[in-house]
Homo-oligomer: A and B are copies of this chain.
Amino acid sequence: MALDAVLNKIDETLPQSLERLMELLRIPSISTDPAYKGDCDRAADWLVAELSALGFEAAKRPTPGHPMVIARKQGPGRHLLFYGHYDVQPVDPLSLWDRPPFEPELQDGPKGKLIRGRGASDDKGQLMTFVEACRAWKAVHGELPGNLTLFFEGEEESGSPSLIPFLKANAEELKADLALICDTGLFESTAPAIVTMLRGLLGEELTIHAANKDLHSGMYGGAAMNPIRVLAKIIASLHDENGRITVPHFYDGVPELPDAVRAQWQNLAFDHAKFLGDVGLALPAGEKDRTPLEMIWSRPTCDVNGIWGGYTGDGFKTVLPAEAHAKISFRLVGQQDPHAIRENFRAYVRSMLPADCTVEFKGHGASPAGQMAIEDPAFERARAALSTEWNRPASYVGCGGSIPIAGYFQSILGMDAMLLGFGRDDDQIHSPNEKYDLECFHKGIRSWARILAALA
């Protein structure tokens, strides 16, 4: 059978696939640091050359920042767009690396062979699983699979400043029937998973002003309002005693979990105690009637990410500060409207202010939650393919974080996305000694071959 031939080819040529990944890993494409601008360009060129050699019509596409890479192969069937990013995080602190981060190496780890180096997992190793699956497919079939566009970004680790304008300017070219995004991981490092729920994110920064200058607490203490006290009272009132968020209308658009998904999540046998225990905690902090998995995947949050005011150095200063600050973010789910929540939050804060105080707000992004279209049969086919390859049932899972690209594909290109990947929790992405397990790379390539066969 043709798929078996492709899988055999993948197994036989794994050393060559690995060598190509190593080549890409040797290019220090750190997007946030202007010193590496030439290297980002070089990584894009490398991809264009590889993809062109494979038979794609590939080109580097300029942006005001780092270039995009687009590779197209016309063909029969649904048009699939594969997304990955070729840029990587900075490497500091360099002193914590066991070897130079851009001199990758295949090492023997306690649980098997692993590929050590910056970008091995995030996202060069992951994007190459798809490229290598295409290569094996072509070797067996003589041509690339189906109807494909590959789209690689070079600014994912630096806030994607060029992404939205680029998507808008090239919408016709990039719009496909379904996007495949390979930048996520295995569930609990073991089970294949397709992310179908992504939380949105709303960021707010607020400054409470009281007196028109810092005061001495001996002179004014007791009589003058302390903005830290005002801020603390506001923050304390954002959750009720059951852990629910008190901003008016906050839960508008928060859906109940469908029974089928709830059942699947229960089958995951997620170890809630271990999840919290690993970071030194024991008690879930969210709504009292929810499990931690529900809390992080399907429930909205309100968290203070930063707070400051007054004297924060060594020793003591009896200052009554003129202002106090906090950065507060909301993770959003379902149909929660970030803009409505922003307005309701600001009005709620204003309603709690003493008449003497004023508040200033600064917005830091507002993206809605993403809900993938699992009713598209491609999802069930991909899930079956993953279950076969990993010999474990693949699950639809949530993701507590935000993967903005999925939302942009939906809002700008009107295209749903399927998020799946093969990273493990201990891959140390964004940290020193990043790695990607050879098993993940190998089975990742095989997974894509199976999915391409299933979707073709």
Contacts and interface: CB of A to CB of B under 8 A. Distances in A.
A299 B224 CA distance: 13
A279 B231 contact: no
A285 B222 contact: yes
> Among the interface residues A239, A303, A310, which one has the most CB atoms of the partner chain B within 10 A?
A303
A309 B310 contact: no
Interface in A180-232: 199, 201, 203, 205, 210-213, 215-226, 228-229, 231-232
Contacts of A365: 316
A67 B201 CA distance: 61
> Among the interface residues A213, A311, A312, which one has the most CB atoms of the partner chain B within 10 A?
A312
A281 B324 contact: no
Interface stretch (A2-10, A325-333, A409-417): A325-333
A316 B311 contact: no
A327 B316 CA distance: 7
Interface stretch (A38-46, A79-87, A395-403, A447-455): A395-403
A218 B307 contact: no
B286 A222 contact: yes
A280 interface: yes
A307 B308 contact: yes
A305 B228 CA distance: 8
A233 interface: yes
A281 B218 contact: no
A320 interface: yes
Given A232-B304, A236-B233, A329-B217, A356 B223 contact: no
A49 interface: no
A255 interface: no
Contacts of A286: 222-223
Interface in A287-318: 292, 295-296, 299-301, 303-312, 315-318
A354 interface: yes
Contacts of A355: 282-283
B311 A327 contact: yes
Interface residues on A, range: 35 or more
A36 interface: no
- Number of copies of this chain that the complex holds: 2
Contacts of A239: 229
A305 B317 contact: yes
> Among the interface residues A219, A299, A307, which one has the most CB atoms of the partner chain B within 10 A?
A307
A217 B354 CA distance: 30
B232 A218 contact: no
Contacts of A318: 201, 203, 303, 305, 329, 401
A354 B283 contact: yes
Contacts of A393: none
Given A303-B320, A304-B232, A327-B316, A285 B399 contact: no
A203 B317 CA distance: 9
Given A212-B279, A235-B229, A400 B312 contact: no
A281 B320 contact: no
A307 B305 contact: no
Given A310-B306, A317-B306, A319-B306, A279 B329 contact: no
A309 B311 contact: no
A276 interface: yes
A361 interface: no
B316 A210 contact: no
Contacts of A274: none
A370 to B, nearest CB: 13
Interface in A249-284: 275-276, 279-284
Contact of A296 (B223, B275, B279, B285): B223
A315 B327 CA distance: 9
Contacts of A238: 229
Contacts of A212: 279-280
Contact of A303 (B226, B325, B364): B226
A232 B229 contact: no
Q: Which 7 A-B pairs have the closest CB atoms?
A: A218-B401, A212-B280, A232-B235, A236-B236, A306-B310, A222-B295, A222-B301
5 contacts: A221-B303, A223-B295, A233-B235, A306-B310, A306-B317
Given A221-B400, A233-B235, 7 more contacts: A203-B318, A213-B280, A221-B301, A222-B301, A222-B331, A228-B326, A305-B310
